[in-house]
Structure 1
Amino acid sequence: MRWENLYIAGLGAYLPEHEVTAEQAVAAGQYDAGRAEANGIHAVRVASHEETGPVMAAAAARQAIARSGHANEDFGLVLHSGMGHQGQDFWTPAHYVQNETVGGDAAAIEFRQGSNGGLAGVELAASYIVSRPDTTAALVTAGDSFKLPYVDRWNSDDQTVYGDGAGAIVLSTRGGFAKVRSTASISESSLEPIYRGTDWTDVPFESGRPADLDERKRSWLTRHESAYEEAMGRIGDKFAAVLGKALEDADTKLPDTQWFIHANVAQTIAEWGFYQPLGLDLSQTTYEWGKHLGHMGGGDHLIGLNHLFETGKPKAGDLVVAVGVGLGFMWTVAVIEVLDAPQW
Structure 2
Amino acid sequence: MRWENLYIAGLGAYLPEHEVTAEQAVAAGQYDADRAKANGIRAVRVASHEETGPVMAAAAARQAIARSGHPNEEFGLVLHSGIGHQGQDFWSPAHYVQQETVGGDGAAIEYRQGSNGGLAGVELAASYIASRPDVTAALVTAGDSFKLPYIDRWNSDDQTVYGDGAGAIVLSGRGGFARIRATASISEPSLEAIYRGADWTDIPFETGRPADIHARKGVWLSRQENSYEAAMGRIGEKLALVLNKALADADTKLPDTQWFIHGNIAQPVAEWGFYRPLGLSLSQTTYDWGKGLGHMGGADHLISLNHLFETGRPKAGDLIVAVGVGHGFMWTVAVVEVLETPSW
Q: Could you tell me the TM-score, scaled by structure 1's length?
A: 1.00
- In the alignment, the residues of structure 2 paired with residue 115 and residue 229 of structure 1 have an alpha-carbon distance, to the nearest angstrom, of 22
Give the match for residue 337 of structure 2: 337
Deviations 1:152-180 (A, max 9, x none): 00000000000000000000000000000
What is the identity, as a one-letter code, of the residue corresponding to 1:29?
Answer: G
Matched, 1:165 2:165: yes
2:31 maps to 1:31:
yes
Structure 2: how far apart are the matches of 1:130 and 1:176? 16
Partner amino acid for 2:241? A
The alpha-carbon deviation at position 147 of structure 1 amounts to: 0.1
1:304 aligns with 2:304: yes
Q: Structure 2 CA distance, aligned partners of 1:150 and 1:135?
A: 38
Q: Which residue of 1 aligns with 2:212?
A: 212
Task: Percent identity, please.
Answer: 84
CA drift of 1:130 comes to 1.0
User: Residue 10 of structure 1 aligns with which residue?
Assistant: 10
Residue 197 of structure 2 corresponds to 197
- Structure 2 distance, partners of 1:85, 1:317, is 40
SS at match of 1:222: helix
| CA distance in structure 1 between the aligned counterparts of 2:165 and 2:263, rounded to whole angstroms | 13
For residues 75 and 299 of structure 2, the distance between their equivalents in structure 1, rounded to whole angstroms, comes to 20
In the TM superposition, what are the counterparts of 1:136-151 in structure 2 within 5 Å?
136-151=136-151
One-letter code aligned to 2:279: G
Residue 330 of structure 1: how far off its partner (Å): 0.2
Amino acid at match of 1:203: I
Secondary structure of the equivalent of 2:205? coil
Tell me, what secondary structure is at the counterpart of 2:260?
strand
Shift of 1:224: 2.8
Deviation at 1:223, TM superposition (A): 1.8
TM-superposed deviation, 1:222: 2.9
Q: Report the AA paired with residue 250 of structure 1.
A: A
Distance 1:218 1:200 in 2: 16
Which secondary structure state, in structure 1, belongs to the residue aligned with residue 232 of structure 2? helix
- In structure 1, the residue matched to 2:21 is 21
Please, which runs of 5 or more residues in structure 2 have no aligned partner?
none
Equivalent in the alignment of 2:275: 275
Alpha-carbon distance in structure 2 between the residues aligned to 1:286 and 1:78 = 27
Q: Tell me the residue number matched to 1:253.
A: 253
Which residue identity lines up with residue 42 of structure 1 in the other structure?
Answer: R
Q: Which residue of 2 aligns with 1:85?
A: 85
CA distance in 2, matches of 1:212, 1:71: 44
Query: How far 1:119 moved relative to its partner?
Result: 0.1
Q: Are the aligned partners of 1:7 and 1:173 in contact in 2 as well (CA < 8 Å)?
A: yes
**Scaled by the length of structure 2, what TM-score is found?**
1.00
Check conservation: 1:222, 1:228, Cα contact below 8 A.
no
User: RMSD of the alignment, in Å?
Assistant: 0.4
> Which residue identity is paired with 1:32?
D
SS in 1 for 2:241: helix
Aligned to 1:48: 48
Measure, in 2, the Cα distance between the counterparts of 1:180 and 1:233: 30
Distance 1:91 1:135 in 2: 26
Equivalent position of 1:321 in the other structure: 321
Distance 1:183 1:225 in 2: 35
**Alignment-derived partner of residue 129 in structure 2:** 129
Instruction: For 2:316, give the aligned amino acid.
Output: A
| Aligned counterpart, 1:105 | 105
Indicate whether 1:177 and 2:184 are aligned.
no
Does residue 284 of structure 2 align to residue 284 of structure 1? yes
Q: SS of 2:264's equivalent?
A: coil
Q: Give the partner amino acid of 1:244.
A: N
User: May I ask how many residue pairs the two structures share in their alignment?
Assistant: 344
Residues 7-51 of structure 1: CA deviation (Å, up to 9, x unaligned): 000000000000000000000000000000000000000000000
- How far off is 1:225 after superposition? 2.5
Q: Which whole-Å CA distance do the structure 2 matches of 1:235 and 1:198 have between them?
A: 22
Q: How does 1:55-66 map to 2 (within 5 A)?
A: 55-66=55-66
CA distance in 2, matches of 1:174, 1:221: 49
Q: Determine the C-alpha separation between the residues in 2 that align with 1:235 and 1:71.
A: 41
Counterpart amino acid of 1:84?
Answer: G
Identify the residue that residue 224 of structure 1 maps to in structure 2.
Answer: 224
How far apart in 2 are the matches of 1:217 and 1:194?
5
SS in 2 for 1:323: strand
Partner amino acid, structure 1, of 2:150: Y
**What is the CA–CA distance in structure 1 between the aligned matches of 2:336 and 2:238, rounded to whole Å?**
21
Large movers: runs of 4+ above 4 Å? none
Q: Give the residue type in structure 2 aligned to 1:305.
A: L
Aligned residues of 1:324 and 1:333 also touching (Cα < 8 A): yes
**What is the CA–CA distance in structure 2 between the aligned matches of 1:306 and 1:218, rounded to whole Å?**
36
1:62-104 deviation digits (Å, cap 9, x = unpaired): 0000000000000000000000000000000000000000000
